[in-house]
Amino acid sequence: MIKTKRFDKIFARNQENIASFAYVTPDLKNIPDAGVLNQKCSDNARINNLNIDMYGLQPSMFDTTINDFLDINYQSPTSGLPLTEQLYTARGSQSVAVGSYATDFTSTDPKDFRQTILVQTYSNTKSKTNKYYRKRPLWTANQAPAYTMRDRSAGNPAFVMNLPSYVRMLDPFISINETRWERVFVRMKDPANKTATD
């Protein structure tokens, strides 16, 4: 895990060269004290199960990546918000962003907001129970930078959600200020400026 205070000082010193930055959470089951053995998604009948990875997403995440690597399959035609900010709306708080393979696998239509995907977390400790959530697919991607959100089977699909939902899954009694971070993405204003990037 990384220490954000160290990076925050670097970003403050170099803000004239940085266009945007975002911290990236680890997959929920990779946090030792989360007590999560495995994570799966399925249709509501629990006939088809799929191992998944789960991440919290900062609103600035896709501002730091190359737009060419983001291929959206479906998004609401009525929202004027950026994709990441949509996850922080009232509807977004009940939702996840996924690759279109996940919705195809679970026979979920993202155009119908009443349809949900069943998300299951399995505990590896006696002090925590298995948990079940119903999540709406807010938007879907054929591919996305930094996450396995694909239109075909390729490793564990990523389920991406807002940070409060992610932290609540980790532990409902901790603050969002206690979010764990694994990586940091930085987008420079001028990537060709070697002095700034070094």
Please give the C-alpha separations between residue 197 and each of 11, 21, 191, 194, in angstroms, as whole numbers. 12, 13, 7, 5
Strand partners, 139: 97
Residues of the chain under the 70 pLDDT cut: 194-198
The C-alpha atoms of residue 135 and residue 162 are separated, in whole angstroms, by 12
Predicted confidence at residue 197, as pLDDT, reads 58
Q: Domain limits of the chain? A: 4-197
* Residue 132 and residue 139 in contact, taking contact as beta carbons nearer than 8 Å: no
Predicted confidence at residue 196, as pLDDT, reads 63
The C-alpha atoms of residue 140 and residue 99 are separated, in whole angstroms, by 5
Predicted confidence at residue 176, as pLDDT, reads 87
3-state SS record for 118-178:
EEEEEECCCCCCCEEEEEEEEEEEEEECCECCCCCCCCCCEEEEEHHHHHHHHCCCCCHHH
The C-alpha atoms of residue 113 and residue 2 are separated, in whole angstroms, by 36
Predicted confidence at residue 150, as pLDDT, reads 93
Predicted confidence at residue 131, as pLDDT, reads 93
Q: Tell me how far the alpha carbon of residue 52 is from its chain's centroid.
A: 11
The model's pLDDT over 123-163, given as tens digits with 9 standing for 90+, comes to 988 888 899 999 999 999 999 999 999 999 988 999 999 99
Q: Tokens 């393979």 sit at which residue?
A: 101
